[in-house]
Structure 1
């Protein structure tokens, strides 16, 4: 029997029942598709290539053995990152549904997997955009004749403030406290930004002008432990960030697909310009050597492997429903397999390249201040809003380089933000298509307004405490690893790895690399479970997070538990219904409906599952017609 790429089985389309064919046509007409492959690729790239590539990966590489860190990183990438990345994208393309209804279609009992991922997206939509508000605040202040964070002569400065470049350039003071330039790196990857010394109170005996600008001018932190009043100027920056985000996606993929031509590509231009400037500065080679210097002994540390795993999960935006939503706007026969491989390689190459940019500039800073690189290297917000602005201020024309840097930070975060909003809007629209599909602009506006209001506590005088808490326990590694285990188990062991493989073959016209099947079956869930267990047994407690008030001890567990309980709740609800809880939707096309759902070493593990509505292939239908005398 001849198989075809676009029809699955020769003449299958002609033999499709008219009712089903009409239904399929109406669905495809009602739902948008990407105008071309470039829009899909740029949207995916914009989502997965974000701030963590610039301010997290380079530091992790330096901290965990330099070039040796690539070994655990690429192991997690090939055996966890790429398999789950491809699974979610292919699931969206196959079902043409968002992050919730896609799981309902293939296995109604595990609809909670999709709901859990959308809870993570809600977390991100509320607090991640606060970073963009910070970037806008700094960007607007880049146009002063003297950059405000380089001076100690401002009303927000204290008597402890020191202009470090003016005081210490060329003179290394061993007794100076330089800990504000670095922070203990967080445990949770792409969206994670932890705080240590830069947010402690009271300030150090000697504090830099950059640190005081961050603490006393922008954040206006208080030591009361409460949230305090809203910072009005930050509220305006947050509002502007939401206005920009709304107009990027309010028309759906029609606008999203066009906006990403700029937002996904311009940061690369910025990185390239900063890289050229960085590598030509004195001290750049020292910084790059610290970034890549191999330390084989680090491989024996479990923390290194945990850092690599959680970095891959966050950097590739898996288990958040975003990849499923973006994939759902693909045409059925798009070759998403090659797309996913290319996007994953692009993401990792961007992270490595960003390391050269960051550490060349930090090496120059160490050279200018005559400091060891150990006192300069930093991660997270400490890099983006304290150390890097300090380094750029040492360059000729610091205003120009500061504008480029904060514009890059803004655009890196912007496309990740509006794609998360797009994911939530897609999930809600597909849940209630009759009501929301024609009211998409109102839906996106409602999401923006609600998330803006929920984000206001994060820009209060004590909002940094709430931000730290949400960042650590909202989209945490524990949540993502938990969801990843269920995703792979549901697809491989409930829906059937063989059947999902057939679905992919029907879409792209050929079978993907067979190792993916065994990753979904064994390797990926085992690695995720082991990493999850290590995280649970480690020091993942509220007490290990610096500078959080006492009320966080009650609030933090809720952030972690809420996504996780969605899966068992929906599972029990499905069990109470007791009908077709593992039977896929009847409108899903099956290439080989009579084949086993799962085979291992030529042994049938899970038998075929047939629905009386599932489309029969050409030969079966012909036999049926022949036996009935038609």
Structure 2
């Protein structure tokens, strides 16, 4: 679970940054200083650094590490997947992770208003990221409902996914676990792996070498339980009815989530696309959540070192989880005499098949299953907390006077709406919908598109030099210079090239295409387009307003306001830009000097 919550700011003149005062007070007219009720409540801050680090770790280290990474790794060639993964990690994931974290800490704003403050014309970048968060709020918590379902069924005297003798099992279910007793002995006879009799048809499966296969598709009881008991996947072409038990699990997940956060933060092809998706998904970039969390930091927090430590921890967790899953899959493939492709074909449900299989082999499997699925629940809840928090923060920062005092109602409204929108995902055809949302919602296409704009806006519009000065002012030193060139060239070029290949390539193949009907793919263009159109829409709205569309907010502190915004090889690329209030103050001062001279 995350740490305790940041303290509410006290006093009407508490400093929020060097040389600044609390939000909403810098430009307050003299006659309104006593009207406290007319001002929005002061913004909260983390009580200490530990709370921020635990919250960030809880967001980025989640189900994506134990569920998505192993599946994508196997899907794209195993070890070769690490090549694009680490390229995206070092040249895209880490630079954008630090960019969003520093942006939130510098502006003390959520995922939308932070972009409005540094460049009003590109407020749509923040809006697009919140659309991604809405997607996640709707479908990500469904995985928690699955975890709760498995958790409750872990209390059976015999784990239900270890047997083929249940009403939901199909004729292809094949269980070898009954012969496990004593396999650790040196004199154990392993011939049963190559000579088994099917319990349904009494058909002898004698495959003396690995090239011979049974005449039907063998599936493990874990796979059978996943598809035909928990998901109850229907191939009728429609969604079907809601699974009542899963609906109750989904409701319970939302109830837990709400009561934990309602008080606020104080309580070269598809291999490359999938690598980018995993890095961006696991590191929670282009979603506004990093900006929201870091916006509660104190101005002088060293977010640079925080980001490095969190990135190392996150990727290490993903790689470790990958080794665990593949060691289990290799063991299962050897047991059943099946290729790895058949065992890994379950896609997002891979962790719900491989891990339960491993746990069933341990002494006292019920105990270990309860611990494991409780861990999965905690991992997912942390990420879900932050997704809801990011959306609530973005909305309260947009309308602070109205929503900051009604935060509990806002979070409740978000929870209720997202619960209702999540019900189609737990119908008999809901896994089809889940697969399409997972592939095309917070997908590589959307995240790559947003990432391109984030780096371009910060580096080329706001100015990489100016942003570096802001960071230096916050943490006391300039970060590694390579980051500047990543923001300027490397990151947008890699993201744009991968995005272009993705758009020009063939239709994406889902992990569960054999189960996904054609109708569900009709939603794919809509899921992809909605976040992307937010950026041009708000750009044209800003152009219609006409004035100060690229001028940063007047309350943002600038370390060197007269320095160029961007220099390359000692040449000025973008000249200095002074905020409007600085220009007006300078003009007022010049007028006073001229008047006094007269």
Q: What is the Cα deviation at residue 112 of structure 1?
A: 0.6
Could you tell me how far apart the structure 2 residues matched to 1:196 and 1:430 are? 67
- Does the aligned pair in 1 maintain the 2:196–2:204 contact within 8 Å? no
Q: Which moved more, 1:164-173 or 1:237-246?
A: 164-173
Residue deviations 1:404-462 (CA, integer Å, cap 9, x gap): 22122211111111110000000000011000000000000000000001111111111
- Does the aligned pair in 2 maintain the 1:80–1:519 contact within 8 Å? yes
Distance 1:201 1:236, change over 3 A: farther
Could you tell me how far apart the structure 2 residues matched to 1:177 and 1:381 are? 35
Distance 1:412 1:391, change over 3 A: same
Alignment match, 2:511: 544
* Aligned alpha-carbon RMSD (Å): 8.0
Distance 1:2 1:189, change over 3 A: farther
Alignment match, 2:315: 348
- Does the aligned pair in 2 maintain the 1:86–1:337 contact within 8 Å? yes
- Does the aligned pair in 1 maintain the 2:176–2:335 contact within 8 Å? no
Distance 1:65 1:88, change over 3 A: same
Q: What is the Cα deviation at residue 490 of structure 1?
A: 0.7
Alignment match, 2:5: none
Could you tell me how far apart the structure 1 residues matched to 2:405 and 2:15 are? 38
Q: Secondary structure at the match of 2:572?
A: strand
Q: Does 1:234 align with 2:250?
A: no
Residue deviations 1:523-550 (CA, integer Å, cap 9, x gap): 1100100111122233334789642223
Q: Does 1:30 align with 2:45?
A: no
Could you tell me how far apart the structure 2 residues matched to 1:535 and 1:224 are? 30
Q: What is the Cα deviation at residue 508 of structure 1?
A: 1.2
Residue deviations 1:306-351 (CA, integer Å, cap 9, x gap): 4433321111111001111111111111111111111111111112
Query: Of 215, 219, 242, which aligns to 2:227?
Result: 215
Could you tell me how far apart the structure 2 residues matched to 1:74 and 1:19 are? 57
- Does the aligned pair in 2 maintain the 1:98–1:423 contact within 8 Å? yes
- Does the aligned pair in 2 maintain the 1:188–1:477 contact within 8 Å? no
Aligned length: 585
Q: What is the Cα deviation at residue 519 of structure 1?
A: 0.8
Q: What is the Cα deviation at residue 356 of structure 1?
A: 3.6
Q: Secondary structure at the match of 1:253?
A: coil
Q: What is the Cα deviation at residue 481 of structure 1?
A: 0.1
- Map of 1:98-497 to 2, 5 A cutoff? 98-166=110-178, 205-255=217-267, 304-365=271-332, 380-497=347-464
Q: Which moved more, 1:401-410 or 1:415-424?
A: 401-410
- Does the aligned pair in 2 maintain the 1:250–1:445 contact within 8 Å? yes
Q: Secondary structure at the match of 2:268?
A: helix
Q: Which moved more, 1:366-375 or 1:131-140?
A: 366-375
Q: Which moved more, 1:398-407 or 1:416-425?
A: 398-407
Q: What is the Cα deviation at residue 138 of structure 1?
A: 0.5
Distance 1:448 1:16, change over 3 A: closer
- Does the aligned pair in 2 maintain the 1:473–1:556 contact within 8 Å? yes
Could you tell me how far apart the structure 2 residues matched to 1:343 and 1:190 are? 54
Q: What is the Cα deviation at residue 498 of structure 1?
A: 1.1
Could you tell me how far apart the structure 1 residues matched to 2:472 and 2:172 are? 65
Q: Which moved more, 1:528-537 or 1:106-115?
A: 528-537
- Does the aligned pair in 2 maintain the 1:186–1:194 contact within 8 Å? no
Q: What is the Cα deviation at residue 127 of structure 1?
A: 0.6
Distance 1:557 1:378, change over 3 A: closer
Could you tell me how far apart the structure 1 residues matched to 2:418 and 2:246 are? 15
Q: Which moved more, 1:580-589 or 1:67-76?
A: 67-76
Q: What is the Cα deviation at residue 5 of structure 1?
A: 9.8
Distance 1:249 1:78, change over 3 A: same
- Does the aligned pair in 1 maintain the 2:96–2:285 contact within 8 Å? yes
Q: What is the Cα deviation at residue 368 of structure 1?
A: 5.7
Q: Which moved more, 1:205-214 or 1:384-393?
A: 205-214
Q: Which moved more, 1:170-179 or 1:246-255?
A: 170-179
Distance 1:391 1:203, change over 3 A: farther
- Does the aligned pair in 1 maintain the 2:277–2:444 contact within 8 Å? yes
Alignment match, 2:467: 500
Q: What is the Cα deviation at residue 157 of structure 1?
A: 2.5
Q: Secondary structure at the match of 1:599?
A: strand
Residue deviations 1:203-254 (CA, integer Å, cap 9, x gap): 9754332222222222222221111111111111000000111111111111
- Does the aligned pair in 2 maintain the 1:128–1:191 contact within 8 Å? no
Could you tell me how far apart the structure 2 residues matched to 1:619 and 1:172 are? 86
Residue deviations 1:41-69 (CA, integer Å, cap 9, x gap): 11111111111212333455566666665
- Does the aligned pair in 2 maintain the 1:485–1:528 contact within 8 Å? yes
Residue deviations 1:86-140 (CA, integer Å, cap 9, x gap): 1111111111111111111111111111100000000000011000000000000
Q: What is the Cα deviation at residue 371 of structure 1?
A: 6.5
Residue deviations 1:276-310 (CA, integer Å, cap 9, x gap): xxxxxxxxxxxxxxxxxxxxxxxxxxxx4444333
Q: Which moved more, 1:418-427 or 1:370-379?
A: 370-379
Residue deviations 1:590-625 (CA, integer Å, cap 9, x gap): 111111111111211111112331499999989997
- Does the aligned pair in 2 maintain the 1:129–1:238 contact within 8 Å? yes
- Does the aligned pair in 1 maintain the 2:73–2:79 contact within 8 Å? yes
Could you tell me how far apart the structure 2 residues matched to 1:501 and 1:190 are? 72
Distance 1:373 1:203, change over 3 A: closer
Alignment match, 1:96: 108
- Does the aligned pair in 2 maintain the 1:245–1:417 contact within 8 Å? yes
Distance 1:190 1:585, change over 3 A: farther
- Does the aligned pair in 1 maintain the 2:325–2:351 contact within 8 Å? no
- Does the aligned pair in 2 maintain the 1:56–1:189 contact within 8 Å? no
Distance 1:15 1:371, change over 3 A: closer
Q: What is the Cα deviation at residue 79 of structure 1?
A: 1.1
Q: Which moved more, 1:450-459 or 1:210-219?
A: 210-219
- Does the aligned pair in 1 maintain the 2:196–2:206 contact within 8 Å? yes
Q: Which moved more, 1:348-357 or 1:612-621?
A: 612-621
- Structure 2 unaligned segments of length 5 or more: list them: 1-12
Could you tell me how far apart the structure 1 residues matched to 2:152 and 2:357 are? 17
TM-score, reference length from structure 2: 0.83
Q: Which moved more, 1:369-378 or 1:181-190?
A: 181-190
Distance 1:305 1:219, change over 3 A: closer
- Does the aligned pair in 2 maintain the 1:181–1:375 contact within 8 Å? no
Q: What is the Cα deviation at residue 468 of structure 1?
A: 1.0
Distance 1:373 1:221, change over 3 A: closer
